[in-house]
Amino acid sequence: MTMIPNLNLVPFVSVDHMMKLVLHIGVERFLTELSAYVEEDFRRWERFDKTPRVASHSAEGVIELMPTSDGRTYGFKYVNGHPKNTREGRQTVTAFGVLADVGTGYPMLMTEMTILTALRTAATSAVAAKHLAPKDASCMAIIGNGAQAEFQAMAFKALLGIRKLRLYDIDPAATRKCMRNLSDQGFEIAACGSTEEAVEGAQIITTVTADKQYATILTDNMVGAGVHINAVGGDCPGKTELHRDILLRSDIFVEYPPQTRIEGEIQQLAPDHPVTELWTVMTGQATGRRDARQITLFDSVGFATEDFSALRYVRDKVAGTGFYETLDMLADPDEPRDLFGMILRAAKPAPVDEAA
């Protein structure tokens, strides 16, 4: 699909346009449709180039590139994770992404991905829970009520019908913010005073904290039989949220083991500890939830195919709309071999129209 005829111009979705696109489609519909793209790409997992993200770590955080290709289309995301940014009034995570044609190498789309990453992370969590969570789940605890929390709640409502939320954050202001943002979205919400209180009666427990450290957000005694744990916050070396004993009691499902063993909760376990790849559950090659007492754990770190899915979805949705602009990104001389001449011609004054 060619959105514009000029090869030098690349469609660009700004933050403003992304917000308008989400509102135009509707948050729940956006998450539902995006989830379908995410699941479609998990089901064709074997077609993708796969590699752990390329990470540059520092004491302050991490900057990463997340590339993949299905052989026809290539996508990558630039993303950072700097927990200290919140104290300075900045986002913990920012991102942008590019989708390109494998046949020519030409970019087809560039887009902000700070908002889009929050949406795709929530969509992926809900897709996994659709296959792993108890079928009658109606209540979710969200531990960590920062920038990702509302997206998680909306995705689980859209895909699983979750209506009851139990919220806890070490910063009560974050919980108040989350409750305010979700107040008109059809939830029954309880603000809790501790993690222990938040998980009471919840069939799904989502942990989505930001501190870059080995943390114990959930201890073993907090997790009863039959729950599904959606562990989102542990996503880089040295950053975890769950006590090791929880992992030993759970059936663990992951995106891409070589990456998750470095970055996920399972970095606490032996390198050969058994895990199940999520794509094999979706394709029927492995079993997800077996029974009502099983503890399932989605050790989510985020993988490049999910960003690829999000880029594909946005490209399809913005085509023919006004929710993008064009950037003059690619040198496109009349003669492909005359790039230097293109520079020289740019110095010449424009022809004068004598008829004028």
Catalytic residues: 235
Phi-psi region of 201 (alpha: psi -120 to 50; beta: other; left: phi over 0): left
d(CA 96, CA 190): 34
DSSP state of 7: T
d(CA 356, CA 218): 76
- Taking the CA atoms of residue 327, residue 331, residue 336 and residue 339 in that order, the dihedral angle to the nearest 10 degrees is 160
User: Which residues make beta-bridge pairs with 74?
Assistant: 69, 100
> Euclidean distance between the first and final Cα of the chain, in Å?
39
Whether the Cβ atoms of residue 229 and residue 251 lie closer than 8 Å to each other = no
Token digits for 108? 């087809």
Inter-CA distances, 133 with 85, 250, 257, 321, Å: 33, 13, 21, 37
Neighbours of 91 (CB within 10 A): 14
- Judged by DSSP in three states, 242 sits in strand
Whether the Cβ atoms of residue 139 and residue 326 lie closer than 8 Å to each other = no
d(CA 204, CA 129): 9
d(CA 110, CA 93): 18
The closest alpha carbon to 213, from 90, 59, 80, belongs to 59
Measured CA angle at 34 (ends 97, 318), to 5 deg: 60
